[in-house]
Structure formats: C-alpha cells, structure tokens
Structure 1
Amino acid sequence: MAKRVLVIGGSYFSGRVFVEEALKMPDVELHVFNRGRLPLRMDGITEHVGDRERPEQVGDAIPGGQWDSVVDFCAYTPAHVETLLTNLRGTVGQYLLISTTTVYRKTTQQPVDERAPLLDGPQPELGEYADYGYHKCLAEEAARRECARRGVALTVLRPAIIYGYYNYAPRETYFFDRLRAREPIVIPEPGASRFNFIWVVDMARLLWACIGDPRAFGETFNLASGEVVSHARIVEALGEITGKAIDTLRLPAGEIARRKLPLPFPLDEDLVYDGTKIDRLFGFEHTPFHVGLREALKYYLMVKRREAAAANAR
C-alpha cells in the first residue's frame, strides 16, 4: 500500500530535492502544499495551492484522509505549526519538522550533539536573523505539544549548513562566482574556523529513511556530515575538481569584516555538529564533500549557461 505523504513547501532547495527523490521511490503518493509561486509540474506529484498562515486555506486546499507522514519544510514560528496541525483535515501518523542547528546556544564544546543546550532568547548580534533560531526553538516546542495532544508521532530534524542543487542562499556560490570571474577567493587567515555541511541529496535520503520508521518516532536528529571543512578546504576541493590552482587572498577576519566582504561561513568560530545519531540508526554514509561540491558546481554552471542563453535570445 502506498505511503501517503504531504509536503509543506517543496518547491525550493531542500524541499524540491526531497520531492525529486520521491519520484525514484515505489509506493509513494506525494502531495505538495505551498503558495504556488514556483509550480513543480511533475508527473506523479499532486500540488495544492494555499497560504499556510491562512487557516481556512489549509483546511480548504489540502484534502482530508489519512496522511502517513507530513513533512514540514517551512515552519519558522510556533504559529506555523499550530495553524497547520489544527486546520489539517483527516489524521496524521507522523509529523516531520525541519528545524535547524541554529537552535543551539554558542559553545566551545565541539561537535554539538542533540543534547546540547538550546537558545533561550533571540540573538541580537545576528541582525535581521536575530529571531530565526529562537523562533525555530519555539516551533519545535509547539510541535511537541501539538503532536502529543493529537497522538501524532514527531520527528525533528536539525540540518547543519545545507549545500547543493537549487540553493538560493549565497553559500557555495560565493566561491563559484569568484572562480567563474577569475577573481581571487578571499579566505580568513589564520584559518581557525571549522564547520560541517549536509549535502541536500543526503538530507533528502535521510528524511525518507525516517518516514514511517518507528525508530524515528519521538526522536530529534542533527543532519550533518562528519567531514569537517574550512574555507581553505573548500578552495582545496575546488582545485581538485577543476584541476587548476585556485587564486586566493588571505586576510585577517577583522579585515574581512571591516571590508564587509560577503563570506558565507563563520570567520573565527567553529560550527561543527554531530550527526552520528541518525547515521548509526540507518547505517548511512555521507557523500564526500568534494563529490557534493562538484555536483553543486556542475548545477551552478548549468544555470549560468541557461541564463546567458536566455539573455542572448532577447
């Protein structure tokens, strides 16, 4: 019998890759609910258009019945969780909330596992993103409360830095843009900061492993490769991929900040997370970083070629 799965979001980045992975799987009936700004138009996917912040649209646009799993890629506040679960018609077996490792407090103890202390308030030092991690904490609390009330199995996933196909965030593209323009890639000196990633396809596969598996019910998982990376390692990997020496400009972190250079990763602190809990549960092996980065670069170059062709056609 097919698993009936509802995706909230699903048109952008990690949600889109999750949907694409579904098309490779047997016995999945996949529905997607979002605002319809980027229609998928994929055979085998049923799309429903509506705004999750409008309770009546949740109830009217999404069909009822038994949902084996609901995968929520775009719950950023407790109200998002509450509005969805309160107004969704039918029954839900499992709710998978895509959270973030940003929910953890700053700590010098690395890697950070799922038992680490969470934020207890906003982070003003992050400017426009001051509320992001704390609101995700509150969304997790709301999910635990609402799922317990409704008898729904909850699985919380906290991805580290995601990279790969469809990435709209200026992360790996910082390096790709400079590589393509033959400009030096600025990296901090000394290279003290370390971080780790999750390739977007690996993330999708781990989510699919959790769906319908009782071992994931009631659990919280970090999603993070064990391969620790630095700015210098990214440049090194690009050299391995292209077979060329990469021109770099090493600057102190303070100078990079003074010049307001848009480096996408931490300059002088570690952000390393422990994803071994879920990896051990499912016997999962992550894609090596240089392989995922190679695929991300291929996708980036394909997009740039299409953009150039479209511009030339005007």
Structure 2
Amino acid sequence: MKALFIGGTGTISSAISSLAIEKGVELTLLTRSGNGPEGAERLICDVNDEDRAFSVLKGRSFDVVVDFVAFRPEQVERDIRLFQERTGQYIFISSASTYQKPLAHPVITESTPLYNPYWQYARDKIACETLLMAAYRSTAFPVTIVRPSHTYGDCSVPVAIHGAQGSWQVLARMLEGKPVIVHGDGLSLWTFTHNTDFARGFYGLMGNPHAIGEAVHITSDETLTWNAAFAAIGRALGVEPILQHISSDLLSALRPELLGTLLGDKANSVIFDNSKIKRLVPGFFATVRFDEGVRRTVEYVRSHPECQKADPEFDAWCDRVIKAYSSCVRSF
C-alpha cells in the first residue's frame, strides 16, 4: 500500500505513521518541517501553497491520502483539486466535537446530528465534511471521514482545562498540593482513547473499500467521570488530587476560550457506540485502559523535561479563580 500523510507528526498522526511503517506501508509524509519517523519518505512542502504542492506531487499517485492538518473548508476544497485523480481513498480527520451540542441523547453514533453552536472549530469541521460528502456524491471523490474524540499519547496528560502551554501545569499543581479546577461537579462522563488504539482502528480503514463514502468515529469503549479521571492521574503521580469544582458556564465566562472546549465539548456526557468501526474493521477494540495509559504518559512526561512546560499565567489564573470562588461561597 502506498500512502501519503499530510502532517504525520502529531499525537494521532505519529502513532498511525509508526504503525503504518510497521505494517509495511510505503509511507510518504508531506510536511513543512521534514520531521517524521524513520522509514518514511519526507517531502518538505507547505500544502497550503497549492502550486508548490502540485509541483511536488507531479507524477505521483497513492492508494491512500490522509490530511491531518485540514481544518477549514477552503483547505479541503484544495485537497479535492490536488487528489481527485491521485488517490483511491482520501481520509479526512474530522472531530467528535462536531456531534450535536447539547446532546439529545448521551449515546453517540455516526448518525447523531452534527451541530455545535459553541465552537467555531467544530463548525468548520462540519463544513469540511459537508463539502467532501458533496464531492463524493457528485464526482465519486473517494472520501472517508474519521472523527476522533479525546485521543492522547505519551507527551501530554489529557485534562479538560489547561493553559497555552498544555497540561503540565495541572500536574505541577497536583504535585505541589494545590487544588485543580474540574468543570461542573466532575460527574459528567467522558471517553479517553490512547493513540495506539486509535491507530489500530484507523489502519483498518486504510485501503478499505467499505469505508469509502462513510463517516466513522474511533474511540475506546471505556467511559469515566472526570472525577475518576483525575483520581487516576493522581494515582499515577503518587498524590491525592484536591479537586475544586466550578460550573462550566462560570469558567467559560471567566476564560472565553473555554466556551468551545467545555460547553461545545468536554462538559457534555458522552458514550460512544463503536459498532460501526468494529463492523468495518473486524476484530478491532481498544485495549489500553485509561489508568494504564495515563500512568505510561505520566512516566514519560516526568522523565522528559521538554514535556514539562511551565505556565505561570495559567497557574495564577487558577489561583485567582479558586480564591474568588471560595470567597464567594464563604460569604453566603
């Protein structure tokens, strides 16, 4: 199998790239940096420079093309022009955040409506999906849409609220005995998927004729409350986390960039029905339990200083919010 990955070095894409090479895929990465795993051909090009990309790809064709870095409709329109005659399958990485918010039913299938008034990122992904399915129906453009949910790997512990530098500062607060903010009462349900599990499901879709014209999500079957997730992170760190519960509405008002990631995503209870990916990829199921996966992630982050990015601005914001919230509660 010959595959082209646009991107290929992120949390999701790096795991898929590694598995594809292990499986013997003839893998080419189109990236701006030229980074990527050993065993992959690297084409250094910014795909947003369409003329340059067309020149770099001239004379090439692939069994599968995957775009990990398309977020807006104009980007998938470009991909349709670039790959209409170059590939037997084009896989678009969408997002489970596209599913209806607020949910009418907590169990999500691929037929759950796509609607998210809280998050522009999700609305852009919905618009991309709409364009791609229209191209499939009108010109047989061979699209497969994949919707990841909260997928994590070795380099960053998955949390709901963090600053611009990622999740390390949340872990640092736990290690220092400081309270960490948990949205709502911490009892909403969430699903975390390890990137190696996601990669196995994804690989089964590559070159799969039954996946053409389909949309499918790939997640773990394990569902946890956020309180349970933080407890697992605390155990991996060897501490008992102090959780400060604050409503998602208030947090979004105090930090507007949380509106999409909370009200448009993580504040909702979700349970994924993975029947479709299991039908398309017989034998697939997630094997990495969250407490096991997050222990591995914590060990990696603690042994790699480059993953420990301090975020004093976010730390100070947490202190201010918790102090103000506690003062308000005491005043009543």
TM-score (norm 1): 0.82
Aligned-partner Cα distance in 1 for 2:255–2:208:
46
Q: Which residue of 2 aligns with 1:57?
A: 52
What's the secondary structure of 1:66's corresponding residue?
coil
Deviation at residue 88 of structure 1 after TM alignment: 3.9
Aligned-partner Cα distance in 1 for 2:169–2:278:
29
**Gap runs ≥5 in structure 1:** 309-314
Aligned-partner Cα distance in 1 for 2:307–2:112:
44
Aligned-partner Cα distance in 2 for 1:252–1:89:
49
Aligned-partner Cα distance in 2 for 1:197–1:118:
21
Percent identity reads: 23
Aligned-partner Cα distance in 2 for 1:268–1:44:
40
Cα contact 1:63–1:89 (8 A) shared by 2: no
Deviation at residue 195 of structure 1 after TM alignment: 1.5
Aligned-partner Cα distance in 2 for 1:256–1:143:
35
Structure 1 runs of 4+ aligned residues shifted over 6 Å read 261-264, 305-308
Aligned-partner Cα distance in 1 for 2:97–2:169:
21
Deviation at residue 154 of structure 1 after TM alignment: 2.0
Change (3 A) 1:11 1:68: same
What's the secondary structure of 2:196's corresponding residue?
helix
* Number of matched pairs: 295
Q: Which residue of 2 aligns with 1:34?
A: 31
Deviation at residue 138 of structure 1 after TM alignment: 1.3
Cα contact 2:174–2:234 (8 A) shared by 1: no
Greater mean deviation of Cα atoms: 281-290 or 255-264: 255-264
Aligned-partner Cα distance in 2 for 1:149–1:259:
45
1:213 matched to 2:212: no
Aligned-partner Cα distance in 2 for 1:177–1:262:
22
Cα contact 2:89–2:144 (8 A) shared by 1: yes
Change (3 A) 1:294 1:113: same
Q: Which residue of 1 aligns with 2:283?
A: 283
Deviations 1:255-299 (A, max 9, x none): 656765998756753243333321344222212111221222122
Q: Which residue of 1 aligns with 2:79?
A: 84
Q: Which amino acid aligns with 2:39?
A: G
Change (3 A) 1:306 1:194: closer
What's the secondary structure of 1:284's corresponding residue?
coil
Cα contact 1:140–1:156 (8 A) shared by 2: yes
Aligned-partner Cα distance in 1 for 2:136–2:253:
46
Deviation at residue 223 of structure 1 after TM alignment: 1.6
Q: Which residue of 2 aligns with 1:13?
A: 11
Deviation at residue 62 of structure 1 after TM alignment: 2.4
Aligned-partner Cα distance in 2 for 1:133–1:66:
31
Deviation at residue 92 of structure 1 after TM alignment: 0.8
Q: Which amino acid aligns with 1:275?
A: N
Aligned-partner Cα distance in 2 for 1:260–1:194:
22
Greater mean deviation of Cα atoms: 104-113 or 274-283: 274-283
What's the secondary structure of 2:89's corresponding residue?
strand
1:112-261 superposed matches below 5 A: 112-119=108-115, 123=117, 126=118, 130-167=119-156, 170=162, 173=168, 175-188=170-183, 190-242=185-237, 244-253=238-247
Q: Which amino acid aligns with 2:21?
A: L
Change (3 A) 1:209 1:44: same
Deviation at residue 307 of structure 1 after TM alignment: 6.6
Aligned-partner Cα distance in 2 for 1:181–1:239:
12
Deviation at residue 183 of structure 1 after TM alignment: 2.7
Deviation at residue 11 of structure 1 after TM alignment: 2.2
TM-score (norm 2): 0.78
* RMSD of aligned Cα (Å): 3.0
Change (3 A) 1:231 1:306: closer
Aligned-partner Cα distance in 2 for 1:261–1:302:
33
Cα contact 2:64–2:206 (8 A) shared by 1: yes
Q: Which amino acid aligns with 1:54?
A: D
Change (3 A) 1:262 1:184: farther
Change (3 A) 1:10 1:41: closer
Change (3 A) 1:24 1:117: same
